[in-house]
Amino acid sequence: MRTVLFIFGILILEFNIFAQCGGANLVVNGNFSAGNTGFSTSYTYSATSCYVEGQYSIATSGSAVHTAFCTTGDHTSGSGNYMIVNGAPSITNVWCQNMAVTTNTWYRFSFWGMNVCASCGDSPQFSISVNGTPASNPCATFVFNTTCSWKYYEVYWNSMANTSANICITNLNTYAGGNDFALDDIEFRSCTTGGPCVAFPLEAPVLEYIKSEQNQVQLGFWIDESLLYNSQIIIEKNTNSSVFEEISSVNDLKSGINSFTDKYPVFNQEMHYRIKSVDKDGNVQYSNIKSTIVKKQETHSVLIYPNPAQYTDAIMLKYEGNTEQILNITITDISGKVLYYQENRQMVFENNQMRIPVQLSSGCYSISIRFSDRISTQKLLVY
């Protein structure tokens, strides 16, 4: 256990350095040195006793208000105050505070907590919310399962158009047995960027523009900075107005406008594009959809013959252009099963013609010839 906690501490330190959260702590009385003031709660305060579910105290030791609670000192100095809570058997806000924020700014909310009773039963479980919106990412749900030992928690939030943030820590455990905990050193600081754990609903990607040029399709899409740390970004396309298929997963992203080029459009047919984001919990968001048609007049024709063909015929491919432009050939049956695949280095042309070394039985087949800038697909009937 000591090794795990040590590694966890290293990771948190790295995240803090990366996020560069050097802003002033906006939380009032986050270390409870001023006693029972500066925050709101749905729990009932008692200065000397914490034996009733839904009751809390501000003291220097859990054992000072409940004989079964830990004697551990506060996290700040070991001798100061902290908040000691006997969890209510209902989903209840434990601590809330409203703070003014700057628009379009990253903030880190963090605090320390612990389970204060080793023999009392269930561990406390929490989530947080901002301005009434519960967190949706798994980073925002956490358990204090370290009895009588402080455990750190942090989460990032972007203010966007908000000028205030009403943050609440909510106890999700509804068991009366156990569910006893402590909070200390609560902080809310501005950062230069977000961190790896963004706990609030993310902005969906936006497909800003789409344009066709040089027989390719270029997409411009916007993503929120929080998606950089929590989501995989996928480009999807469909050509039949019903089924979208993944054509690429995009890396090396930045906050704001990003671009992607589809080098293999289906020519002379309407294509529909959208951006898909998938977070670490498998939650999916889609952008708007934009459509385009890429028209191409091929300067060199591709011919598969004879067509239709008898099953005893040799299947021939004729290409009037530079045969080195052909990357590969694929033949599939009507179920999509690949029956034949050949790359350029294996092809032997004579007078721009090549015999495809495959024996096909009666049926309908699709032959796709991939070039560096396009795909030519033809149907072949064998009888």
Per-residue pLDDT of 58-68, as tens digits, reads 999 999 999 99
pLDDT band (50, 70, 90) for residue 193 = confident
pLDDT tens digit sequence for 250-276: 988 888 899 999 988 988 888 999 999
Q: Which of 36-45, 209-218, 220-229 has the highest mean pLDDT?
A: 36-45
* CATH architecture of structural domain 2-191: Sandwich (2.60)
Q: How far apart are CA 288 and CA 308, in angstroms?
A: 43
The strand ranges marked E within 214-352 are 216-223, 231-238, 245-250, 256-262, 270-279, 284-286, 290-293, 302-305, 315-319, 326-333, 338-343
Q: What is the mean pLDDT of residues 350-362?
A: 91
- Give percent of the chain above pLDDT 90: 54
> What pLDDT score was predicted for residue 281?
67
- Pick from 315, 256, 266, 263: which is nearest to 291 by CA? 266
A 10 A CB-CB count for 317 gives: 22
pLDDT band (50, 70, 90) for residue 5 = very low
Q: What is the mean pLDDT of residues 40-58?
A: 96
pLDDT band (50, 70, 90) for residue 10 = very low
Residue-by-residue DSSP string for 48-95: S---STTEEEEES-GGGT-TTS-----SSSSSS-EEEEE--SS-EEEE
Q: How far apart are CA 173 and CA 181, in angstroms?
A: 11
Query: What is the Cα 27 distance to its own chain's centre?
Result: 28
Asked if residues 173 and 109 have their Cβ atoms less than 8 Å apart, the reply is no
* Residue 12: pLDDT over 80: no
Q: How far apart are CA 340 and CA 349, in angstroms?
A: 18
> What pLDDT score was predicted for residue 134?
81
pLDDT band (50, 70, 90) for residue 197 = confident
Which whole-number Å values give the CA distances from 249 to 220, 231, 235, 261, in the listed order?
Answer: 15, 11, 6, 12
Q: How far apart are CA 164 and CA 141, in angstroms?
A: 23
* Residue 140: pLDDT over 80: no
* Residue 376: pLDDT over 70: yes
> What pLDDT score was predicted for residue 300?
67
Token couple for 182: 């402590």
> What pLDDT score was predicted for residue 143?
84
pLDDT tens digit sequence for 156-183: 888 888 999 999 999 988 877 778 999 9
Helix (H) or strand (E) holding 119: none
Asked if residues 145 and 113 have their Cβ atoms less than 8 Å apart, the reply is no
Asked if residues 273 and 236 have their Cβ atoms less than 8 Å apart, the reply is yes
Q: Using CB atoms within 10 A of its CB, is residue 4 exposed (0-12), middle (13-18) or buried (19+)? A: exposed
Query: What is the Cα 307 distance to its own chain's centre?
Result: 49
> What pLDDT score was predicted for residue 295?
78
- Give percent of the chain above pLDDT 70: 91
CATH pick for 302-382 out of 3.40.50.1110, 3.40.50.720, 3.40.50.300, 2.60.40.1930: 2.60.40.1930
Across all residues in the chain, what is the average pLDDT? Answer: 86
Q: Do domains 206-293 and 302-382 have the same CATH topology?
A: yes
At 376, which amino acid appears? S
CB under 8 Å to 17, separation ≥6 — which residues?
A: none
CATH pick for 206-293 out of 2.60.40.10, 1.10.357.20, 1.10.287.130, 3.30.70.270: 2.60.40.10
- Sketch the domain layout of the chain as residue ranges: 2-191, 206-293, 302-382
pLDDT tens digit sequence for 287-338: 999 999 887 655 567 899 999 999 999 999 998 888 888 999 999 999 989 9
pLDDT band (50, 70, 90) for residue 41 = very high
Q: Name which of 12-26, 339-353, 366-380 the model is least confident about.
A: 12-26
